[in-house]
Chain A
Amino acid sequence: MATLEIRDLHVTVEADNATKEILKGVDLTVKQGETHAIMGPNGSGKSTLAYSLAGHPKYTITGGTVTLDGEDVLEMEVDERARAGLFLAMQYPVEVPGVSVSNFLRTSATAVRGEAPKLRTWVKEVKEAMERLNMDPSFAERNVNEGFSGGEKKRHEILQLELLKPKIAILDETDSGLDVDALRVVSEGVNRVRETGEVGTLLITHYTRILRYIKPDHVHVFAGGKIVESGGAELADKLENEGYEAYTKGGASE
């Protein structure tokens, strides 16, 4: 069973000619089949955790370890991490002009699966996945994220999640900027992947709203660059009622 283990992770970022520590000792274990929600106020370092795990060059790891099934993730290049089974659904997916969605998806699936998918089954697979996400077929011919609405970008991220079938999926504020209908469609996509039991999900969010659609097994409160409280789904209810105030005042925040 695939397991992502994060131990005492420290991460810094360069900003305004100064080095700033954002993550200050994160400990977390995510197993295949589990769903963990990481909730926290703005600026708590949630997204830094997501991008550090994916290997974004902006962030420097200064301490700790991250392993996937015992393999050292921090030693891997960005593309190697993806091929090892890590997937990051991004909050702000970037435009890639000149590259069509269909070409992008196929290139990506070929890289992750280690061989080019058979054309006939592939076309069907993509078509059906797009239908389930209420995406128009013309979408495949557009350039990656170019001119996409906020909702289209998120659907496109979840489409990739469904096609690439990672071991560990990190969803960085996938709910932000979505109206209720889009949120439901996107959440259903995530749930389809979860129901296979083959993915461990790390759901990063500021709001409790998405947790009505995607039920977490574990909820962690993130503040001041680390996890300050962990619990079950009931912890989300507490946050819904009381907000993050208790965590940001008590000296846990930076």
Chain B
Amino acid sequence: MAEAQNIPVGSTTAGSIAVAAESTVATRMSAPPSFDVQDFPVPHGREEEWRFTPLERLRGLHDGTAVATDEGVRVEVQAPEGVTVELVDRDDPRLGKGGTPVDRVAAQAYSSFEKAGVVTVPKETVLTEPIRIAVHGEGGTRFGHQVIELGAFAEAVVVIDHTGDAVLATNVDYILGDGAKLTVVSVQDWDDKAVHVAQHNALIGRDASFKSVVVTFGGDLVRLHPRVSYAGTGGEAELFGIYFTDKGQHQEHRLLVDHNNPHCKSNVVYKGALQGEDAHAVWIGDVLIEAKAEGTDTYEMNRNLVLTDGARVDSVPNLEIETGEIVGAGHASATGRFDDEQLFYLMARGIPADEARRLVVRGFFAELVQQIGVDDIEERLLVKIDEELEATV
């Protein structure tokens, strides 16, 4: 059930559970999904899918004025033996299978990239080392497309690191064969000026498990759109997110889980901390349970911790149910403040102010960090969280 507590001034937390014959998730978008950018009008900012995003900071990704540069964004893939890493042309049949762009920037990316990256883990290959993809910006603009495909019963961990300064629009497809297990950690550790807009499309095979961990620390504007649908029954998706939104940053995570097959599970947990003037976090959690998806089990949750005045959270969970024959469905959203009274209480027990803040924020994230299941990432996250705190206290 929706719950909302301690909402800071200037925030919205609107939750809804709709039981409807027709999905509003689809109808409230300004255009149907398409690979062609021409099918989307240039957004003006009042559209449902754009209303929280400062368009003027998109550096032209939304209106066709952004131009790809030859250099300035490097992509390097490191893969253990047994994995195929390719650069392919636009007409490669493996592209676009995960999902179709749902907004103008995603369609722009699909219409504009020159070569796509395809990483393939053959069937029944179980990797013991992660595949690492480093995306490093040196001031360039790039439209990208990346496919990560696991054959049946393959198992892999993929870590995608985004660093430096770039203007980047991409689509990333995760294709999981039957019984495959994929964990993807996407870290947005950008410099202050970077703009990053991406749609992630996961297509989960029968009895396959997908775990996505999205970690957003940096950038001027980051807008990610992780989406999940199921290619068969018995699939499982865990979507975890951690964001730390600082002064002036806009970090937006828009999730969609489309339960389009019976007996699938999904669990969404996103947690964010905000600090500083005009820090703005947006979380949209759409879960759709289609009429044919009986036996669905889904839960989604967003928690925000506001550390200082002047930060803003918009959190909108939305659950649509077209069948009552399900195991469970729920959602929750809450935004709390680390307020002066909590600080006073901890300090009155001898704990210095900066340590008190660290205690609260580490505690807030710890439970989620522990669920990532990739040791070096967990450690790096905790260090990063401490750095973020030290930067502003």
Q: Give residues in A with beta carbon < 8 Å to B.
A: 54-57, 77-79, 81-83, 87-88, 90, 93-100, 103-104, 107-108, 111-112, 143-144, 160, 164
Contacts and interface: CB of A to CB of B under 8 A. Distances in A.
A57 B340 contact: yes
B17 interface: no
A147 to B, nearest CB: 13
Interface string B332-356: 0000100011101111111111010
Contacts, number: 76
Contact of A99 (B340, B341, B350, B359): B359
B359 A54 contact: no
Interface stretch (B91-99, B150-158, B306-314, B360-368): B360-368
B349 A82 contact: yes
A93 B352 contact: no
24 contacts: A54-B344, A55-B347, A78-B347, A79-B348, A81-B348, A82-B350, A83-B350, A87-B348, A94-B341, A94-B345, A95-B342, A97-B364, A98-B305, A98-B360, A98-B366, A100-B363, A107-B351, A107-B355, A108-B349, A111-B352, A112-B349, A112-B350, A160-B349, A164-B349
A111 B352 CA distance: 8
Contact of A103 (B342, B347, B359, B361): B359
Contacts of B355: 107, 111
Scoring B344, B350, B359 by chain A CB atoms within 10 A of each residue's CB, the highest score goes to B350
Nearest to A105: B349
B351 A111 contact: yes
A79 B359 contact: no
Contacts of B346: 96, 104, 108
B350 A79 contact: yes
Contacts of A81: 348
Contacts of B349: 82, 104, 108, 111-112, 160, 164
Contacts of B361: 98
B368 to A, nearest CB: 11
A51 to B, nearest CB: 9
Given A94-B341, A98-B364, A82 B359 contact: no
A108 B364 CA distance: 18
A97 B338 CA distance: 9
Interface residues of B, number: 22
Lowest 7 A-B CB distances belong to which pairs? A98-B363, A111-B350, A82-B350, A78-B347, A108-B349, A98-B364, A112-B350
A59 to B, nearest CB: 11
Nearest to B363: A98
A122 to B, nearest CB: 16
B110 to A, nearest CB: 40
Contacts of B351: 79, 107-108, 111
Q: Please indicate which of the listed interface residues B341, B346, B348, B351 has the most CB atoms of chain A within 10 Å of its own CB.
A: B348
B354 to A, nearest CB: 10
Given A87-B348, A94-B342, 4 more contacts: A93-B345, A98-B363, A111-B352, A160-B349
B348 A54 contact: yes
Contacts of A95: 342
Given A57-B344, A93-B345, A96-B342, A79 B352 contact: yes
Contact of B345 (A87, A96, A97): A96
A56 B360 contact: no
Nearest to A160: B349
B363 A78 contact: no
Contacts of A96: 342, 345-346, 360
Contact of A78 (B336, B344, B359, B360): B344
Given A56-B344, A94-B345, A97-B336, A79 B363 contact: no
Contacts of A88: 348
Contacts of A54: 344, 348
Nearest to A163: B349
Nearest to B361: A98
Contacts of A100: 363
**Residue among B336, B345, B352, B355 having the largest count of chain A Cβ atoms under 10 Å:** B345
Contacts of A55: 347-348
Most buried by B among A78, A81, A93: A78
Nearest to B353: A79
Nearest to B341: A94
Contacts of B352: 79, 111
Nearest to A143: B363
Contacts of A87: 348
Q: Among the interface residues A55, A90, A97, A98, which one has the most CB atoms of the partner chain B within 10 A?
A: A98
B350 A108 contact: yes
Nearest to B340: A57
A164 B341 contact: no
Nearest to A84: B350
Contact of B363 (A93, A99, A111, A112): A99
Nearest to A166: B350
A94 B348 CA distance: 12
A82 B348 contact: yes
A226 to B, nearest CB: 24
Contacts of B340: 57
Of the candidates B346, B364, B366, the one having the most CB atoms from chain A within 10 angstroms of its own CB is B346
Nearest to A81: B348
Contacts of A77: 347, 353
Nearest to B362: A98
B304 to A, nearest CB: 12
A128 B154 CA distance: 51
A82 B347 CA distance: 8
A104 B359 contact: yes
A55 B344 CA distance: 9
A87 B353 CA distance: 17
A169 B259 CA distance: 58
Contacts of B350: 79, 82-83, 108, 111-112, 164
A77 B364 CA distance: 26
